[in-house]
Amino acid sequence: RIMITGALGQIGSELTLFLRKHYGAEHVLATDIRKNDTEVVRSGPFELLDVMDRKAFNEAAGRFHADTIIHLAALLSAVAEGNPLLAWHLNMGGLLNALETAREQKAQLFTPSSIGVFGPSTQKIMTPQETVLRPVTMYGVNKVAGELLADYYFHKFSVDTRGIRFPGLISYMTLPGGGTTDYAVEIFYDAIQNGRYTSYLRQGTYIDMMYMPDALKAIADVMEADTKQLKHRNAYNVTGMSFSPEELALEIQNHLPGFTLEYKIDPVRQRIADSWPDQIDASAAKNEWGFVAQYDLPKMTKDMIEKLSDKLAP
Ligand code: VAH
């Protein structure tokens, strides 16, 4: 019985539907700080939950008899950089409440980390699973602290905590909220609707990315992996592809020939992107729980354009 926080977010909205299909809708409780009338709310149990309210968090998990908690509620990198104190409060306070709830309910806990844990002093090509983590963003500080806190709860309280360092995630169902990699999603909407896009990241900015279907499978796979296999439980490097804005534009032009890309750099998000790796090494995830990405840049682009064209069709 799985309880998800942040279930209306970019990962949460697809993960909820994916897990309900796999395990049965009634076994997946979706929670979020707000409510809407999407399929996430309509297709199974939904409750309003502020993850900053530890008592409410724990009671909701207890009422649902949750044996697995997937904690996704958080502020992403760009929003966090604009409001660092709120980001520390929500990202760390929410995670601590998730860890305490998992401890009290004897539940397994998944929470996403990010390539945001890496900083300018980290090796940028084939970034190792074990390497220096000196991020220069509040989001990165939150993710490094979060990984250490999750490991602490495993060693100190035997809470079965697991995490994945997600790269930028690309999906057509729900827009990301305030990330640095959001351009790789926005570009598809603008390409289909306006034939052009203005990138806030400059040419030659390489960032690891992953198509959402690969991310959903990675969460299910790491949570189902035999605990004895896991040496790096918090948290695994994974990646599907690495590209720059102009390489993504070229791939889109294979489907939408008239598409044009311009640039208007956002210094805040450019600085964040420049502090992250260009291409990380996912071999630990492959060796310890069989991670393999199915989507590369051409395959993702084709699927995004097909699915988004249907979704945006008048
Ligand atoms: C962000 N999409 O941009 C998230 C993710 C690696 C990027 O953490 O903040």
**Which atom of ligand 1 is found nearest the CA of 80?**
9
Ligand 1 atom showing the smallest separation from residue 180 Cα: 3
How much is the pLDDT for 314?
A: 81
Determine how many CB atoms are found less than 10 A away from the CB of residue 11: 22
Dump pLDDT digits (tens) for 220-265.
999 999 999 999 999 999 999 999 999 999 999 999 999 999 999 9
Question: Does ligand 1 have an atom closer than 6 angstroms to the CB of 111?
Answer: no
pTM summary value: 0.97
Instruction: Say which of 139, 183, 197, 211 is annotated catalytic.
Output: 139
Are the CB atoms for 170 and 209 separated by under 8 Å? yes
- 139 among known catalytic residues: yes
Q: How far is the CA of 292 from the centre of ligand 1 (A)?
A: 20
User: How far is the centre of ligand 1, averaged over its atoms, from the C-alpha of 179 (Å)?
Assistant: 5
Mean pLDDT (whole number) for 56-78: 98
Place of tokens 């690891």: 208
Mean residue pLDDT of the chain comes to 97
Give the pair of three-digit tokens for residue 85: 């104190």
Any atom of ligand 1 within 6 Å of the Cβ of 113: no
Contact (Cβ atoms closer than 8 angstroms) between residue 236 and residue 290 = no
| Mean pLDDT value across residues 83-97 | 98
Q: Which of 89, 51, 36, 17 is CA-nearest to residue 60? A: 51
Q: What is the structure's pLDDT at 177?
A: 87
pLDDT-based confidence at 208, cuts 50/70/90?
A: very high
- In terms of Cβ atoms closer than 10 Å to its own Cβ (0-12, 13-18, 19+), residue 26 is exposed
The radius of gyration of the chain from alpha carbons, rounded to an integer in Å, stands at 19
Residue nearest ligand 1's atom 1 by CA: 179
User: What one-character DSSP code corresponds to residue 210?
Assistant: E
Output the pLDDT for position 264.
Answer: 98
CA-nearest of 301, 298, 278 to 207 is: 278
Which atom of ligand 1 lies at the shortest distance from residue 77's CA? Answer: 9
Q: Is the complex ipTM higher than 0.95?
A: yes
Q: Is 180 in the pocket of ligand 1 (CB under 6 A)?
A: yes
Q: What angle do CA 166, 244, 219 make, to 5 degrees?
A: 15
